[in-house]
Amino acid sequence: MLFTEDATYYADLVKNKKISCLKLVEYAIDNAIKLQPILNCMTITWFDKALCQAKKMDRQLQYLTEDERQKLPPFYGVPTLLKDLTEFWEGTVTSNGCALMRDKVSSRTDAYVQKVLEMGFIPIGRSNVSEFGLKTVADSNAFGAVCLPQDITRNPGGSSGGAAAAVKAGIVPIAMGSDAGGSIRVPAGYTGLIGLKPSRGRIASGPGIYRGFNSLSTQFALAKSVRDVFTMLKNASVYSPYAMCSLPTIKEEKIQSLTKPLKIAYSVQSLSDEPTSSDAIKAIKSIVSYLKVMGHEVIEDAPAIDIVKLFHFYYITCLVETGRNLANFKDQSDRVLCKDLGDLAWLSYKIGPQISAYEYSGMLKDQDILIEQNAKFYQNYDLFLTPTTISVAPKQTECALPQTLKNLLSNLQSMSIREQRDVAIQAFDNTYRWTPFTQLMNLTGDPAISLPVYETINGLPIGVQISSLKGNEYRLLQVAKDFEEHGLLKTHIVSL
């Protein structure tokens, strides 16, 4: 049985004794066995562990009254996937999509995964990712490329591409992800799912590490319904006295309808050299027309930002943070070999340690200015609307670096530091040319959601991204709920 409905639907079946936790997990395992050879969306499986957990939860159900069952955690017995990147679960491997870490067993459970378990989810495995989440496509030397369910010659985006493919194909009804530069929103946009990147400080983090990827990263999920997203948000958010940045928890019990018209800015102007496609423009125009009909004021406008500085900061963060993570993984010659890593990870390993603290500190100051500029923009607008990506999901053959860049990488050792950094910028520019709209919100910490409102004549989705001021997830979900109630969200699964 494919999971055609949302996670709440299946949790309600369990609570009303219409299906067992064991049966749901068996369905998910059966789906994974059949579809993994087609999609390559998983890296690690815990089938036996999940079956044992399901049986244990079913035994607990036997002794509960109907009232007690209704008070169970919101996703009790629902199978899911954890992402094979940073979502540490004690005693299990987290490879980060890297061959060097294929056997690295986590010694702790991070706060977000603990929240996922407390919500009643049963993880059946890990989803495939790009190496260290460095690309907005999901492929790696270690595990290969994930395939888009609508067209397996295409990539579903990354880094949470395995999670998106698994949900869209009905393997599980919801899957966990993370987002440091679009890694939830991009695959949600490419596959036709709901992908929320919460505000910085909203979601449980730690222990020990509270500024993942220099505070650019946050964990969350890819889903098929707004109610799943809202329930996840309420249960995964926490005010933490340990974290440098933490927001109050959301108090609303349900999503209320909008009570007043909103003032919304929109833009289709690409921030990369790659132009926005006609389909992405059509997606925005269709939503602009709908919003105007619903009485909202919609104006073409965008924050005045220094694009070069924005991407420079983002790329340097990737190089430094990934390079630091790789520092402890060396072969017998006390060095990591190029063959051990993908292109961007290799660049990070070589160049990351060369970035001075002086330069990094200066970029943090630029980030503060960017946050301030963006906040001033939201003094005039409630929301900002853009395409999630400039086009539909790319072909697998388009995802690799051009041979000219690969040749430069092979000669990196002979280059000056400045030449190496120029190569790195070219490589990152090439990788992010399809996804220039998402990184801004990671740098500012603002929330953003990708909604599946458009499909091409060939059935390929293009998401629209809506963002707001930090802390305004509830407003984003109000708009998403409005879209959902009017039948605009195309979250149906694809049967392979």
From the CB of residue 445, how many other CB atoms can be counted at a distance below 10 Å? 23
From the CB of residue 327, how many other CB atoms can be counted at a distance below 10 Å? 12
The CA distances from residue 409 to 137, 316, 318, 418, 433, in Å, are 20, 17, 17, 14, 19
Q: Does any domain span residue 433?
A: no
Tell me the CATH number at 96: 3.90.1300.10
Distance from C-alpha of 355 to C-alpha of 322, rounded to nearest angstrom: 12
Predicted pLDDT of residue 45: 97
Per-residue pLDDT band for 334 (boundaries 50, 70, 90) equals low
- Calculate the average pLDDT of the chain: 94
CA 275 to chain centre: 23
Mean pLDDT of 332-345: 72
CA 189 to chain centre: 10
Provide the terminal-to-terminal Cα distance of the chain, rounded to the nearest Å: 12
Mean pLDDT of 327-346: 72
Mean pLDDT of 134-162: 97
- Cβ atoms of residues 319 and 347 within 8 Å: yes
Pairing of strands 448-455, 218-223: unpaired
Mean pLDDT of 305-315: 89
Pairing of strands 297-300, 79-83: unpaired
> Above 70 in pLDDT, residue 330?
no
> Above 90 in pLDDT, residue 409?
no
Predicted pLDDT of residue 46: 98
Q: Does any domain span residue 81?
A: yes
pTM for the full predicted model:
0.96
Pairing of strands 297-300, 263-266: parallel
Q: Does any domain span residue 126?
A: yes
- Tell which wins on pLDDT, 332 or 262: 262
Tens digit of each residue's pLDDT (9 = 90 or more) over 88-126: 999 999 999 999 888 889 999 999 999 999 999 999 999
- Cβ atoms of residues 124 and 109 within 8 Å: no
The partner residues of 12 in beta bridges, in order of sequence, read none
Predicted pLDDT of residue 365: 86
Distance from C-alpha of 94 to C-alpha of 88, rounded to nearest angstrom: 6
Distance from C-alpha of 11 to C-alpha of 17, rounded to nearest angstrom: 10
> Above 60 in pLDDT, residue 371?
yes
Nearest to 453 by CA among 214, 192, 66, 264: 192
Predicted pLDDT of residue 336: 65
Tens digit of each residue's pLDDT (9 = 90 or more) over 197-208: 999 999 988 887
Q: Does any domain span residue 195?
A: yes
Phi and psi at residue 219, to the nearest 5°: -100, 150
Q: Where are the alpha helices (DSSP H) in 44-118?
A: 47-61, 66-70, 111-118
Predicted pLDDT of residue 362: 87
Q: Does any domain span residue 317?
A: no
Per-residue pLDDT band for 331 (boundaries 50, 70, 90) equals low
The partner residues of 83 in beta bridges, in order of sequence, read 127
Per-residue pLDDT band for 18 (boundaries 50, 70, 90) equals very high
Q: Does any domain span residue 419?
A: no
The CA distances from residue 92 to 131, 301, 334, 462, in Å, are 18, 47, 27, 35
Q: Does any domain span residue 468?
A: no
Mean pLDDT of 15-40: 98
Predicted pLDDT of residue 245: 80
Mean pLDDT of 419-442: 94
Per-residue pLDDT band for 332 (boundaries 50, 70, 90) equals very low
Q: Does any domain span residue 288?
A: no
Q: How many domains does the chain have?
A: 1
Percent of the chain at pLDDT above 90?
Answer: 81
Tens digit of each residue's pLDDT (9 = 90 or more) over 385-408: 999 999 999 999 999 899 999 899
Predicted pLDDT of residue 337: 65
Block residue for tokens 């990934």: 322
Residue-range definition of the domain harbouring residue 69: 7-257+480-485
- Sheet hosting strand 461-467, strand order edge to edge: 175-179, 218-223, 194-197, 448-455, 461-467, 383-387, 263-266, 297-300
